[in-house]
Amino acid sequence: MTIDRPAGLSAGFHAHLGQSGVPGLVHAGDQHAPTSWVIDTHTHAVWELYLQLAGPPTRWTVAEDIRHVPARGLLMVPPGVPHAMAESSTAPYHFAFAALAPADLVPPDALHPLWRLRRPYVIADAGSMVAPFELFLREVTTHQPLRAAGLACAAALLVIEASRLADSRPPGRQLSMHPAVATAKRHIENHLADGRTVDDLAAAAHLSPSHFAELFRAETGETPARYRVRLRMERARLLLAETDLTVTAIAADLGYSSSQHFATAFRRETGTTPSRHRDRIRGRARSGHEGSGHERPVLTGPA
């Protein structure tokens, strides 16, 4: 398995998974692209899932149709169907992708009909795909025990969550959770860089700020602000471990006003700085490789 860093990207990687030991996996990646980065016409022998994580909506030509993919939108392209960006983006954008064969990853009786119909799909609100993609890409980029099993399970979760979204059913929620809290949680999860206050979230739920804050804490055990900080730190640790994004870029991605503000928040939560955390994680990965005897991805292309 190899991991490239394509020239021209702001940051990111492209992993070739043909030798990963998991049938059905072809490639995957996470890329931060400038406006000059345009994806040309191409096809795959398997399905490709493209999740736009941030940036303005992108326009795609899929076969002969134009598809619009907004931030937190998912484009699903069947095998053999040509697709390309119809034009350059109006601003930098961030996306994750995976090329895979669903029939090789989930049992036949669990395979959703959409994968057999082989029709392109765009799901505008695919925020629930963010966590499965982060889990999958962590397995792709991190050398650890049971790697093939982890890749297989994480890839199956991608297929399962995409199948659920394609049903066009309202997202499920815990029956015991108040609808206002469930809605607020989804908003925070899908818009970590958004600075909406408790008053804003309460107004959207047509509740008083005090009542909303009480409900949220009773249902989750945390205040909305604390919940957002915890999720931001989880994403920060992922970006520090798996990308070459600078601390300043990660701070902006998470909605912090400056790298200093982000570093202070990160140290308060973890007891260390973002740079030291990154150095420790990468040092641990190197040590684990030296004593494991397992394959390690080889970085090729521009650094």
Task: Show the domains of the chain with their CATH numbers.
Answer: 2-166 (2.60.120.10), 179-281 (1.10.10.60)
Alpha-carbon distance 227 to 114, whole Å? 35
**Mean of the pLDDT values across residues 54-74?**
91
284 falls in which pLDDT band (50, 70, 90)?
low
Within 6-107, residue ranges assigned H as helices are: none
295 falls in which pLDDT band (50, 70, 90)?
very low
Q: What share of the chain is helix, strand, coil (3-state, %, to 5)?
A: 45, 20, 35
287 falls in which pLDDT band (50, 70, 90)?
low
CB count within 10 Å of CB 197 equals: 11
CB 48 within 8 A of CB 97: yes
Alpha-carbon distance 67 to 65, whole Å? 6
Alpha-carbon distance 53 to 25, whole Å? 21
Long-range CB contacts (within 8 A, 24+) of 231-234: 231/188, 231/189, 231/192, 232/192, 232/265, 233/265, 233/266, 233/269, 233/270
| Closest residue by Cα to residue 183 from 167, 195, 170 | 170
Reported as a single tens digit per residue, the pLDDT across 226-259 is 999 988 998 888 888 777 789 999 999 899 999 9
Does an H or E element contain 207, and which? none
Is it the case that residue 117 has pLDDT exceeding 70? yes
**54, 82, 165, 285 from 294: Cα distances, Å:** 35, 36, 36, 12
Question: Longest Cα pair distance anywhere in the chain, in angstroms?
Answer: 58
CB count within 10 Å of CB 170 equals: 6
Question: 3-state class of 98 per DSSP?
Answer: strand
Range picked from 118-132, 165-179, 184-198 for highest mean pLDDT: 118-132
The structure tokens listed for 280 are: 């420790």
Q: Which residue has the higher pLDDT, 293 or 146?
A: 146
Residue 243's contacts (CB-CB under 8 Å, 6 or more residues apart) are 11, 12, 13, 30, 32
By mean pLDDT, which of 123-132, 161-170, 207-216, 290-299 is the weakest?
Answer: 290-299
Give the predicted TM-score (pTM) of the model.
Answer: 0.68
User: Could you give the angle at the alpha carbon of 124 between the alpha carbons of 121 and 125, nearest 5°?
Assistant: 120
CB 21 within 8 A of CB 148: yes
